[in-house]
Amino acid sequence: MKHNFGAGPCILPQEVFKEASQAVIDFNNSGLSILEISHRSKAFEAVIEEAESLVRDLLAVPNGYSILFLQGGASQQFAMVPMNLLPQTGKAAYLDSGTWASKALKEAQKFGTVQVVASSKEANYTYIPKEYDVPTDASYFHYTSNNTIYGTELFETPKSSIPLVCDMSSDILSRKINVADFGLIYAGAQKNMGPAGVTLVIVKDDLLGKTGRDIPAIFDYRKHIEAGSLYNTPAVFAIYVSLLNLRWLKAKGGIEEIERENIIKARTLYDEIDRNPLFKGAAQAEDRSRMNVTFVMNNPELEKTFLALTEERGMIGLKGHRSVGGFRASIYNALTITSINALVDLMQEFAEKNA
Amino acid sequence: MKHNFGAGPCILPQEVFKEASQAVIDFNNSGLSILEISHRSKAFEAVIEEAESLVRDLLAVPNGYSILFLQGGASQQFAMVPMNLLPQTGKAAYLDSGTWASKALKEAQKFGTVQVVASSKEANYTYIPKEYDVPTDASYFHYTSNNTIYGTELFETPKSSIPLVCDMSSDILSRKINVADFGLIYAGAQKNMGPAGVTLVIVKDDLLGKTGRDIPAIFDYRKHIEAGSLYNTPAVFAIYVSLLNLRWLKAKGGIEEIERENIIKARTLYDEIDRNPLFKGAAQAEDRSRMNVTFVMNNPELEKTFLALTEERGMIGLKGHRSVGGFRASIYNALTITSINALVDLMQEFAEKNA
């Protein structure tokens, strides 16, 4: 058995893989592969409508918000957000809490003035900045709710009188959020929603169409809203697998249940990191992510040996990002407590041997 | 048995569906699904490198050209092409030969001056305009090699002293082309290359970086070239299925063999359309597409009945686009002569009954 701790694309439920595999041969007993059906067919319209309605249901998305399944990942949203929300002579506020947050604000600078309200860069992003004021004269305030590389997460929605825009790529659908607090939420699917190739956008309709920009059609949220995510050929298979995954989440009890499990999984692993004399957490304890657990060894010389041991035990993707070093256990929705326990057991074994 | 005449996403070879289905459960005996592997893993690097090298081999792409696997489809290229090739005060030339060609030029107008060299719009795009001069003072000349909706195809590469940019979404890999004639070629995969969700771009490197524009990173071809199509998380599965399809094409004899088959398939169907007293071709004979065969009935009242009969026989996707009416048989690489014969047989049966 493999334990996939990869940071994304990442593990999805085994039953989702099975159903997806079947649909590649024969989708819904149609005699056709899901890969060869038209995106304009009734069968695919049903897929995208159910996916949208499950997102609306699971996240309790209020009226007045549209749900889109686009392409290009969060990196494309870094450009599409200012294109759609930032007037040519306008200003946007950004929180710099990690590599992706920093990339997002660099792209926004190509479209207008960017005010960085706070940054933890000087501390290698080991914490989430908290002491800052959100300007009232900016078009929106952008932040990243979970910093995949550094293993920090922002659980309390910042107070802001201007619309909040949030990159939730790595913690969407892992815990309760109040969508009404946000103007726009985006997330690359390849962590908790589905496979790589599709991007979720939830946007408050009345924020759009105010920049005065002549936006290329393909980057204009309004075009995608009018067309129900079928403005152009969408990523059919990635949306279908996302639907399977959303159904799985709904069937297991929705956000409430998955958040309960995610809390237990994260606590189990952080408790071991704190207890075990060989290991220590990389991020500040108060900002620890429930999705990406970053940790190092007190004696860095042992790290190579431990990593090799994890690989021997079928644990995948535990090497830390080069910006942090050590280890990163990505413990997204579909990763089970069995995999967490396997890692904790190995940490304990290793500590005994190296006592 | 189903005969999938859909215009795209469309039929791919049955063996590709089988291998893809297996990889969703267990990719290359890794114990992991292709949907959960990292795009930075050695296994996926091998996938994208082999896919690139097969495109280079099959299309004989010369040195000095880069091959990219991007997201967003041809519609996104409508904006990315002028972003990357058209200076702010520059001019681009476009041929208006159909709906998609017309959409492409409308997007380019957002980035500079567009000179439409010729249009067949007044004849509902039933032919490819031929009498025109390509300006020498434009940055590039854009055309669409196959007009999916109208069923016309441009086989002879236009003479041009400026770089040619071509949307080959629906005929790429279906016939021989001379890549050296082009500055940039793009194609949504979902016809002859793979499933929806990935876009092929072949670009001459020395054309890039000359516009003076501050291009968002995600839309800058140079960023994707530097990163070997891994600037951001790519559409892993769609690229993998494209690889399987490229391998299939190579194994069956490459472009030369598929072009030979495509000529026979198209001729078989057009011959019946011309011979059968009930049917007539929609496009001008000299510009008939080998990929999308559009035809109508001399008595339009019979069309509904004939369409219902095709559906009874397991033929999918034959209803013509609303802009043309009648029928459209999309006969891409993976559609076999068996399906063509089934359609021809039905046309003959129907003619006998309605003689």
Chosen domain end from B219, B252, B285 = B252
B11 with A317: Cβ contact below 8 A: no
Name which of B20, B22, B216 is nearest A107 (Cβ-Cβ): B216
Do B170 and B236 have their domain in common? yes
- Residue A217 marked in a binding site: no
B188 with A314: Cβ contact below 8 A: no
Do B145 and B220 have their domain in common? yes
Q: Give residue-wise pLDDT tens across range B178-208.
A: 999 999 999 999 999 999 999 999 999 999 9
Contacts of A11 in chain B (CB under 8 A): 36
The model carries a pTM of 0.98
Do A190 and A60 have their domain in common? yes
Task: Indicate the annotated binding residues of B.
Answer: 40, 74-75, 100, 148, 167, 190, 232-233
Distance, in Å, from the CA atom of B212 to the CA atom of B220, rounded to the nearest integer, reads 12
Distance (Å) from the alpha carbon of B216 to chain A's nearest alpha carbon: 6
Q: For residue B9, say if its preceding peptide bond is cis, omega within 30 degrees of 0.
A: yes
Residue B122, token pair as written in the block: 């007044």
Distances (CA, A) of A333 to A161, A177, B168, B257, B269: 32, 16, 40, 47, 52
Residue B155, token pair as written in the block: 């086989």
Chosen domain end from A252, A275, A302 = A252
Do B318 and B205 have their domain in common? no
Q: Give residue-wise pLDDT tens across range A77-127.
A: 999 999 999 999 999 999 999 999 999 999 999 999 999 999 999 999 999
Looking at the annotation, which residues of A are catalytic? Answer: 100, 167, 191
User: Would B236 be classed as within a structural domain?
Assistant: yes
User: Would B310 be classed as within a structural domain?
Assistant: yes
- Confirm if A157 and A181 have CB atoms less than 8 A apart: yes
User: Would A306 be classed as within a structural domain?
Assistant: yes
- Confirm if B2 and B314 have CB atoms less than 8 A apart: yes
Distance (Å) from the alpha carbon of B76 to chain A's nearest alpha carbon: 6
User: Would A4 be classed as within a structural domain?
Assistant: no
Q: What is the CATH number of the domain that holds A310?
A: 3.90.1150.10
Instruction: Count contacts between A and B (CB, < 8 Å).
Output: 186
User: Would A169 be classed as within a structural domain?
Assistant: yes
- What is the DSSP pairing of strand B292-297 with strand B327-330? antiparallel
Do A262 and A338 have their domain in common? yes
Q: What is the mean pLDDT of residues B101-112?
A: 98
Shortest CA distance from B218: residue in chain A: A76
A110 with B20: Cβ contact below 8 A: no
Contacts of B232 in chain A (CB under 8 A): 72-76
A238 with B197: Cβ contact below 8 A: yes
A8 with B241: Cβ contact below 8 A: no
User: Would B7 be classed as within a structural domain?
Assistant: no
**Which residue range forms the structural domain that includes residue B176?**
14-252
A256: CB partners within 8 A, 6+ apart: A176
- Residue A40 marked in a binding site: yes
Number of independent structural domains in chain A: 2
Looking at the annotation, which residues of B are catalytic? Answer: 100, 167, 191
Residue B1 confidence (pLDDT): 83
Q: What is the CATH number of the domain that holds B234?
A: 3.40.640.10
Q: Considering only CA atoms, which of A100, A103, A104, A131 is closest in space to residue A118?
A: A131
Q: Give residue-wise pLDDT tens across range A308-339.
A: 999 999 999 999 999 999 999 999 999 999 99
Q: Give residue-wise pLDDT tens across range A259-311.
A: 999 999 999 999 999 999 999 999 999 999 999 999 999 999 999 999 999 99
Q: What are the backbone angles phi and psi of residue B5, rounded to the nearest 5°?
A: -95, 20
Do A336 and A268 have their domain in common? yes
Q: What is the mean pLDDT of residues B246-250?
A: 98
Do A225 and A286 have their domain in common? no
Distance (Å) from the alpha carbon of B42 to chain A's nearest alpha carbon: 12
pLDDT above 90: residue A1: no
Distance, in Å, from the CA atom of B44 to the CA atom of B33, rounded to the nearest integer, reads 12
Answer positive or negative: Cα dihedral of B35, B38, B43, B44: positive
Do A344 and A306 have their domain in common? yes
Q: Give residue-wise pLDDT tens across range A12-70.
A: 999 999 999 999 999 999 999 999 999 999 999 999 999 999 999 999 999 999 999 99
Going by pLDDT thresholds of 50, 70 and 90, the confidence category of residue A242 is very high
Average pLDDT in chain B: 97
Do B161 and B286 have their domain in common? no
Name which of B21, B36, B233 is nearest A21 (Cβ-Cβ): B21
Chosen domain end from A192, A219, A252 = A252
User: Would A167 be classed as within a structural domain?
Assistant: yes
Do A181 and A44 have their domain in common? yes
- Confirm if A91 and A139 have CB atoms less than 8 A apart: yes
Do A153 and A193 have their domain in common? yes
Mutate to test the interface with A, among B86, B100, B103, B218 (most CBs of A within 10 A): B218
Residue A204, token pair as written in the block: 């408050």
B11 with A36: Cβ contact below 8 A: yes
B196 with A78: Cβ contact below 8 A: no
Name which of A22, A33, A72 is nearest B71 (Cβ-Cβ): A72
Shortest CA distance from A321: residue in chain B: B40
- What is the DSSP pairing of strand B113-119 with strand B91-96? parallel
pLDDT above 90: residue B303: yes
Shortest CA distance from B70: residue in chain A: A72
Name which of B20, B35, B75 is nearest A195 (Cβ-Cβ): B35
Strands (E), chain A: 3-4, 65-70, 91-96, 113-119, 141-144, 146-147, 152-153, 164-167, 184-188, 199-204, 279-281, 292-297, 315-316, 327-330
Do B215 and B84 have their domain in common? yes
pLDDT above 90: residue A205: yes
Mutate to test the interface with A, among B11, B19, B24, B26 (most CBs of A within 10 A): B24
User: Would B8 be classed as within a structural domain?
Assistant: no
Distance, in Å, from the CA atom of A181 to the CA atom of B124, rounded to the nearest integer, reads 49
pLDDT above 90: residue B355: no
Q: Considering only CA atoms, which of B291, B286, B281, B295 is closest in space to residue B130?
A: B286
